[in-house]
Structure 1
Amino acid sequence: MIVGVVALLLVLAVPLTGGSFQRLGEIPVRGWVLLPIALLLQVLLFSVLSDVPAWLGFPVHLLTYALAAVFLWLNRAVRGVPLIALGAALNGVTIALNHGTLPASEWAVRTAGLPADKGFSNSGMLENPTLPWLGDIFAIPSGLPFANVFSVGDILVLAGVAVLVLANSHSKEPAKSQN
C-alpha cells in the first residue's frame, strides 16, 4: 500500500518540480500488459480472496514476480527501472526462499499494529525465516496514515520509481527502448 501511495505522490510532484507529464508519456514501455496482470493477481490473492491455501498462494505469488521481472527486463533501458528491478529481486528471492511469504520482524508487525497471524500472506512473521534482514523489518507506526511494514527491497523500488518519474519527466529525451 505504501509503495502505491508514495508512487502517486511522486507523480503529483512532477509539475511541482518543473517536470512534464508529456515527457513521461513518451517513455517507450514494452510488455506493459504484464504489470497490470501481476498487480491484479496480487490484489486478488491478498485482498479479495480469503483463506487462500499456501499450495495455491505460493506459486501464484511467485508468478506475479515472474511477470513483473519480464516487464522490468523488457524496460531495463528506462532510467530508474534497474533500481526498481533490484528491489523487486531482493523481495522476490526472499519470498521464494520463504515459501511465498516475505518474512516480517515481530517488532515491525507490532509497531504497525498488524495482526500477528492471518494465514497465507505476502508478509508475515515466520518461524526460522531465510534472509530475515531482507524482509519487512521497517514499520510505519499504527496511528499514522498507511501504517504498515516494509522492506529494504520496497525502499529500493520506491527510489527507482522516484528516479523513473522525476528524472524522466525532466529529461529532454526519454530512454530508448532496447531491441
Structure 2
Amino acid sequence: MTVFAHFDRKEDLLLDRIPGALDVVRDAVRERPDDVGGAGEAIRRTVFALVDERHPLSGLTEGTEPSLRTVTASPALLSRLRTFAYEVETELSAALDADPRFPGDSALTAALLVAAYRTVAVETARRRLVGDDPAEIEAAHRERLEAAFEVLTGGLPGRSRPPRDA
C-alpha cells in the first residue's frame, strides 16, 4: 500500500521520471520568456537543455542500458511508455491551449512534437542497447533533434506546394 501512495501504477516504479517530464513540458510552454518566439522554440530549447545536462529524460544518461533492457523486454512497460507519450501530448496540448501567444492547432502541434521526440529517443535507445559509441550516439541524437525541429518549424524538406485553383 505504501508504494502506491507514491506511484499510480507498478510500472511507474521503474519509469519514475514521468511526473517530472509532464512538469518539464508544461513549464517549457508556460514559463517561456517573451523573447522566445513560439512554443515550438520553447520546447526545442528545453529539449536541448536536457541533452546538454544529460538529464535522464534526454536518453543520454550514462549507465541506463540495464533499465532500457528491462523496459524493452516488458510488454507492460512498453505499454506504459505509450500511455506516457499520450499523457505528455495531452499535457502539451493543454499548455498550448492556455497560451494566448499560441495561435495554432494545439492538439496537432503537441502530437507532432511528441512523435518527433519519441522517434529520436527510440533510435537513441536502440543504439545504446547495441553498444554504439556514446559520443556518436549523442551527436546523432542532436542531429536528429535538429532535423525534427527544422521539419516541425519549417515544413517538410523538398515539399512543393501544389498550385492553387483561382
TM-score (norm 1): 0.28
Higher relative contact order (CA 8 A, sep 6+): 1
More strand by share: 1
TM-score w.r.t. the length of structure 2 is 0.29
Higher helix share: 2
